[in-house]
Structure 1
Amino acid sequence: MRLRRTVLPSPDLLDIALAFGSFGLFTLPVLIRGSGHSPTAAIVVLGLAATVPLSVRRRAPVPVLATVSLVLVGAALADVGFTVFHSNAGPALGIAVLTVADRLPRAVSLRASVAAVGLVTVAEVTAMQVHPATGQNAIQLVLAVPAWLVGYAFHTRRQAERRLRSETQERAREAERRVRAEERVRVSADVHDIVSHTLSMIAVRSGVARMVLEQRPEEALAALSAIETASRGALDELRAVLQSLRDAPGDPLRTAGALAAGPAVERPTLAHLRSLVGNLRDDGYPITLALSEKAGAPPPVEESAYRVVQEALTNVVRHAGRVATSVEVAGDPEGLSISVLNAAPAGGSPGAGPGSGHGLTGMRDRVALYEGTVAAGPCPDGGYAVRVHFPARPVNRTAPADRAEGKRRG
């Protein structure tokens, strides 16, 4: 079944219908039943002059009000009745006053309305004295007051709706700016973690290859193979991060870029921690992993948890060396808890020395996106501890790429 779309008439057509409807309801009956004491030509001319301007009332509210007022003044002084009521009472002046109050600011519309209605009232009061037999009155004053109040109510409502739309658009722009800021935080943290971890591993393994190249070439070959694997893995992860920055699905540029980049790379989860820790163990780092079976969280949180552990272990490699390190990941009703503790390095730190702090800053920014907490600092025994907690309540602010991925899957 086909649905028909309802097409509303334009405001100009409505105003034209209003103008001719006013003439037909209030002036035409006078012509049909007889013109009385007024000439027929005068009734027709004044009736049209008072109603036809209503067809352009939205475009020129003040000229329409002035025209209608002058017509009523002339009719009152000439003692011409072109409506079925005394004093030519009809909708023309009321509609003109309502339109002015609706379309113009309050002060302007009030001045224009008071001037027009005052002029008509003075003319009608004068006509009462000049033509007492016609029974004229100042009813236009009574009709104009509620008309202005109704028009001003329409004007106030439209202004409120305009402000509401403006505020809604501003909130949307602010939300977009916040999303972009969160995206920058996420991407910068991802790039830092991937590059920092991979380069640290490459530095360690290349050093091993250089030292054993002549005595144990097979071990050097294994180190070079590990460097190649780590480099390819880092490139794949960077490709996944950059691919998340592309436009929405359906964009031909995105589709072409995705085809050129190859298949999508799996986002890391808590399960990938085993391979992360296993690779470090193969390089001689005594790391233990305790991953609880109850540990679980939404995919964006699991990816952030993986990045946190990756950054913490990278700091261990760079600043502590091959020291005993424990990684514990546990889940409970309150959320997901992560703890990375390493022992004090023997004989001073063999690593790269004090860091810049960008890793911990990025870690805190990443966890803050999910309203989590980070506690990092030295231990009394000389080691270092990083403890992170992701709350179990629903995540309200996920990364934009994760929201887009959820929409695609939905």
Structure 2
Amino acid sequence: MTTDQARRPSSWLIDVVLAAGSFVLYTGPILAGAASGHGPTAAIVALGLLAAAPLVVRLRAPVAVLAAVSAALVLGALTDVRFTLFVSNAGPALVLAVLTVADRLPWRRSLAIATVATAAVTGAELAAIGIHPHTEQDAIQLLSATAGWLIGYIWRTRRQYEARLRAEEGQRAKEEERRIRAEERLRVSADVHDIVSHTLSMIAVRSGIARVVLDRQPDEARVALGAIEAASRTALDELRAVLKSMRGEDSVDAPTLADLPRLVEGLRADGYQITLHVPPDAGAPPLVQESAYRVVQEALTNVVRHAGRVPTSVDVTCLDGELIVSVVNTAGGSAPGGKGSGFGLVGMKERVALHDGTVSVGPRPDGGFEVVARFPTGASDE
């Protein structure tokens, strides 16, 4: 059984109805005396069955069925037996057989097979005109077979087109899934990098302070060690949140722009001169706010690593359907990435690109450095 038949269990019943209908409607009236045939009754029954019965297995053996139907028509024409109501035994048998061949086989092969079968039947009809001049004959089977092949070819072409569409849709779905997974891996790796990078930078600064003041100012050293502990705990909590998000847990509190004051206060406590301007209502989706927070976190980490305690400003604005985040350190700092790997800046750009945004990173004319990220939000200020 073919795959199509497995998907359509009622196809066999349909073929049984077609075969029975072909015999009952086109040969039955002759046997019942309601219409005139020609030839012995046994021959009419035999040829009628030979033309109709094979249609039951037309989907399983289309070529054999076409051969059987053609043989019945050739024998009927040459032996002067009319087993259907119409001239040249016209009926649905040959049409269905040729149609099935065209529908099931590649078009070149089906055309060759249908041509041979139709030529044999048409040749027998033309020969019968001379052999049996008193019996009506014509070449109607040539026209009906041609129409049957064209219909079958159209059905096959349509089915192949629909199969290609389904395959393309499946491929697009797989590619979309791969893209989503890649973006998720990129987001997770960027989150881990930002968390670890920022925390280690803070730990490095605080541990350096603790080492310097340990003997002379033990209270200050304790404060520095306490800050290291707090930064470590915060980093662990954020990493746990990232891992929970990978498992699809809904109860994950991702950082937003509302968490920027806490981030900045932690740096101010270490002596960094940072000013922060954030609107009360950012008007951006949570994922955009999380990415904006990570951009600020990475930019400030670069300030700590490479610029030192120079005046730095963090500004967040919403303008013309965009969330704009800028981090600018003034003169006295050097461009980030001079001694680093550059992964932070690359990850920052990739993170912003996930939202179809843009980011510009580079030195300022006054010797400072700036990071400006733009996230489309689709909301207008008007």
Which of the five TM-score ranges fits, normalised by the shorter chain? over 0.9
How far does residue 171 in structure 1 lie from its aligned partner after superposition?
A: 1.3
* Partner residue in 2 for 1:255: none
CA contact (8 A) 1:15 1:55 kept: yes
**Aligned Cα root-mean-square deviation (Å):** 2.1
* Partner residue in 2 for 1:398: none
* Partner residue in 2 for 1:390: 375
Alignment partners' CA distance in 2, 1:352 and 1:66? 79
Q: Does 1:370 align with 2:351?
A: no
Alignment partners' CA distance in 1, 2:139 and 2:20? 25
How far does residue 129 in structure 1 lie from its aligned partner after superposition?
A: 1.3
What is the TM-score with the length of structure 2 in the denominator? 0.92
Name the amino acid aligned to 1:53.
P
CA contact (8 A) 1:320 1:344 kept: no
- Equivalent pairs, count: 372
With over 3 angstroms needed to count, the CA separation of the structure-2 counterparts of 1:82 and 1:37, relative to structure 1, is: closer
- Secondary structure in 1 aligned to 2:134? helix
With over 3 angstroms needed to count, the CA separation of the structure-2 counterparts of 1:8 and 1:154, relative to structure 1, is: closer
Q: Deviations over 1:344-387 (max 9, x none)?
A: 337x89x9952221111111111111121111111222211111
The gaps in structure 2 that reach 5 residues or longer are: 1-6
CA contact (8 A) 2:327 2:372 kept: yes
Alignment partners' CA distance in 2, 1:322 and 1:264? 37
- Secondary structure in 2 aligned to 1:132? coil
Moved more, 19-28 or 370-379: 370-379
CA contact (8 A) 1:97 1:147 kept: yes
How far does residue 343 in structure 1 lie from its aligned partner after superposition?
A: 2.2
* Partner residue in 2 for 1:98: 99
Paired-residue identity, %? 62
Q: Does 1:309 align with 2:313?
A: no
CA contact (8 A) 2:276 2:313 kept: yes
Alignment partners' CA distance in 2, 1:306 and 1:357? 19
Alignment partners' CA distance in 1, 2:157 and 2:55? 22
Alignment partners' CA distance in 2, 1:64 and 1:218? 99
* Partner residue in 2 for 1:12: 12
How far does residue 286 in structure 1 lie from its aligned partner after superposition?
A: 1.2
1:287-298 mapped onto 2 (5 Å cutoff): 287-298=274-285
* Partner residue in 2 for 1:149: 150
* Partner residue in 2 for 1:32: 32
How far does residue 37 in structure 1 lie from its aligned partner after superposition?
A: 4.2
With over 3 angstroms needed to count, the CA separation of the structure-2 counterparts of 1:166 and 1:202, relative to structure 1, is: same
* Partner residue in 2 for 1:407: none
How far does residue 216 in structure 1 lie from its aligned partner after superposition?
A: 2.5
How far does residue 243 in structure 1 lie from its aligned partner after superposition?
A: 2.4
* Partner residue in 2 for 1:4: none
- Secondary structure in 2 aligned to 1:330? strand
* Partner residue in 1 for 2:69: 68
With over 3 angstroms needed to count, the CA separation of the structure-2 counterparts of 1:65 and 1:169, relative to structure 1, is: same
* Partner residue in 2 for 1:380: 365
Alignment partners' CA distance in 2, 1:265 and 1:105? 56
* Partner residue in 1 for 2:114: 113
- Secondary structure in 2 aligned to 1:33? coil
